[in-house]
A and B are shown apart, each in its own frame.
Chain A
Amino acid sequence: MKRLYVFLALLLTILLILPLFLDKYVLGIFVMIFFFAYIGQSWNILTGYTGHISLGHALYLGIGAYTSTYLAQTYGLSPWIGMFIGGGLAVIISMFLGFLGFRFGLRGVYFVILTIAFAEITRLLVSHIEALGSFSGIFLDFSPSFKNFQFRGNKAYYYISLCFMVLAVIVTRLIETSRIGRFMVAIREDEEAAESLGVNAFKYSMIALGISAFMTSLGGTFYANFIYYLHPNIMFGMNFSIELILRPIVGGMGTVLGPVLGSFILTPLSEISRVYFSKGGLEGLHLVLYGILTVLIVLFMRRGVLVYVQKLLNPILKLEDESK
């Protein structure tokens, strides 16, 4: 394991120095890589580790984004604080969703549909609330300052999103090796068998959901203050929910580094195809490529790319040992 940590520390150091050499545009791509790695990781905690599939995670992104933005615009509250209020709200709503889903025994596809329904209902409701921009959306004023969570250029966003990503990785690793994490995996593998051992599946499913919702909504606040525009169809939309899950799936669900790897693979792909192909009117090509790549990976590399990368790097990093 030691070699792995050294390797990761090395990568992290490189990432820390990179902004000295990169222009604003490329930095922006990295921001998106880190951002999607972060929210992919947040989703991974629920779906990858506990096994409950959510296709409506944009719900929490939206809650975070709208809460902090509304509080900032109406009360001048710094998004750094608004972020946590949004997080709290996301947890509450997720608890409601989880109660309905888990108490009533909604499994598999039914739970998926429940998550979609919640996101869609919220999308529609927010579209009708004047104070939240209704059908036109909200434009954020650009007044850069640390308090406002807004910055000129992309360097600050780079470091903040990098922080988010690293923290998510650490949190996931801590969960993975903890008692809670092991119960979560047991629930994923066989919920009834876990219950027969004394694991309170409802309680730990709710915990996983709450953590996932909280983390995701923090990402929503970040996104709002990076993109400067909110619209319910985007923030709560199925497209965001789908984009969110592609990276952890490609990278490897239920692993600590999978979502990160997935983001490093897919996000640049998205940018390159967007830049090189949209000029020729091929808007949407990157999503076609995503889709095809995802199907291929699910068919032929079901556990994600990470497993193969690990095999590849094993000779150098000696990854296969008595970890955990």
Chain B
Amino acid sequence: MNALETNALSKSFGGLKAVSDLDLSLGQGEILGLIGPNGAGKTTVFNCLSRFLPMDSGQTIFYGRDITDLKPHVVSQLGLARTFQIVRPFLTISVLENIMVGALVKEKSVKKAKAQSMSILELVGLEDVKDRPASELPLPRRKRLEMARALATKPKVLLLDEVMAGLNPTEVDELIVLLKKINRQGISIFLIEHVMRGVMALSNRVIVINYGVKIAEGPPDEVVKNKQVVEAYLGKEFLSAQG
């Protein structure tokens, strides 16, 4: 049974078809990468999977269960967590309290939720700012907070939307280590990424979409050599210049 799969996912905005007839599956324990040029429809896919946007057609199945018509918070409670491309921390409350909100979804006791949140804090490396308001955090640490919060909900699948954007190479490497650690704990990860180093280092498989259509799928090193993929990113002229 796949952790997450979708069949024939389609979504249009007005006259624009953002995603066409997309099939994808995420195996249990797998790390799946989703790449494609800007505007390819990647975040739209996430928004549909996590039920923030209704799909025009298609089905989403989570651990064998059809979640196509469920509300976003229900889907999250079932174990499908996501982060946002533009991070959305709860600004006026502390870092620890931010994470506790996630923990409290499944843990009714505030005391236990606090303890759980503390260990997640340590996992992502934010213990030193645990009582600072989230508004004081710089962007890279806000990204960690966003992940920590999602992790606190004890998800089975984590959808990460460009978590490496805006990070310097050292920060990217640290994040790769962290994500591998999270994956080893049994959480399947589906990540949208532009930072190729991250995609290559983490993904078991990669899916490439362009203009809402899947154009390639396979292990990372194969996919990046795929002619269509190169053309999508760099354009026809580049390809012909290459000969």
Q: In the complex they form, do A and B come into direct contact, defined as C-beta atoms under 8 angstroms apart? A: yes
With the chains together, A194 CA to B150 CA distance in Å?
A: 10
The smallest C-beta distance from A3 to any residue of chain B, in angstroms, reads 18
The smallest C-beta distance from A143 to any residue of chain B, in angstroms, reads 47
The smallest C-beta distance from A117 to any residue of chain B, in angstroms, reads 27
A-B pairs with beta carbons under 8 A, tally = 73
With the chains together, A179 CA to B106 CA distance in Å?
A: 11
Q: What's the interface size class on B, roughly?
A: 20 to 34
1/0 per position for A160-184, CB-CB distance to B under 8 A? 0000000000000000011100110
Complex interface residues of chain B between 128 and 162 (CB less than 8 A to chain A): 131, 149-150, 152-153
Closest to A303 in B: B92
1/0 per position for B58-81, CB-CB distance to A under 8 A? 000000000000011110110001
Check B50 for interface membership: any CB of A closer than 8 A.
yes
Task: Give chain B residues whose Cβ lies under 8 Å from the Cβ of A185.
Answer: 90, 93, 97, 101
B76 near A198 with CB under 8 A, answer yes
A179 near B110 with CB under 8 A, answer yes
Q: A192-B88, A193-B88, A194-B90 are in contact. List 12 more A-B contacts (CB 8 A).
A: A179-B113, A185-B97, A192-B52, A192-B72, A195-B71, A196-B72, A196-B81, A196-B82, A198-B76, A198-B153, A200-B73, A324-B97
Check A130 for interface membership: any CB of B closer than 8 A.
no
The smallest C-beta distance from B86 to any residue of chain A, in angstroms, reads 11
B90 near A193 with CB under 8 A, answer yes
A179 near B76 with CB under 8 A, answer no
Complex interface residues of chain B between 105 and 131 (CB less than 8 A to chain A): 105-106, 108, 110, 113, 131
With the chains together, A193 CA to B91 CA distance in Å?
A: 12
The smallest C-beta distance from B158 to any residue of chain A, in angstroms, reads 12
**Given A178-B110, A179-B104, A182-B100: A197 in contact with B76 (beta carbons within 8 A):** yes
The smallest C-beta distance from B126 to any residue of chain A, in angstroms, reads 16
Residue in B91, B93, B108 whose CB lies within 8 Å of A179? B108
Closest to B72 in A: A195
Give A contacts to B, CB under 8 Å: 177-179, 182-183, 185-186, 189-190, 192-201, 322, 324
Task: Give chain B residues whose Cβ lies under 8 Å from the Cβ of A178.
Answer: 110
With the chains together, A185 CA to B106 CA distance in Å?
A: 17
The smallest C-beta distance from B35 to any residue of chain A, in angstroms, reads 23
Check B84 for interface membership: any CB of A closer than 8 A.
yes
Check B33 for interface membership: any CB of A closer than 8 A.
no
A selection of 8 A-B contacts at a CB cut-off of 8 Å is A182-B100, A192-B72, A194-B90, A196-B76, A197-B152, A198-B73, A198-B74, A198-B105
Residue in A182, A201, A324 whose CB lies within 8 Å of B104? A182
B97 near A189 with CB under 8 A, answer no
Task: Give chain B residues whose Cβ lies under 8 Å from the Cβ of A177.
Answer: 110
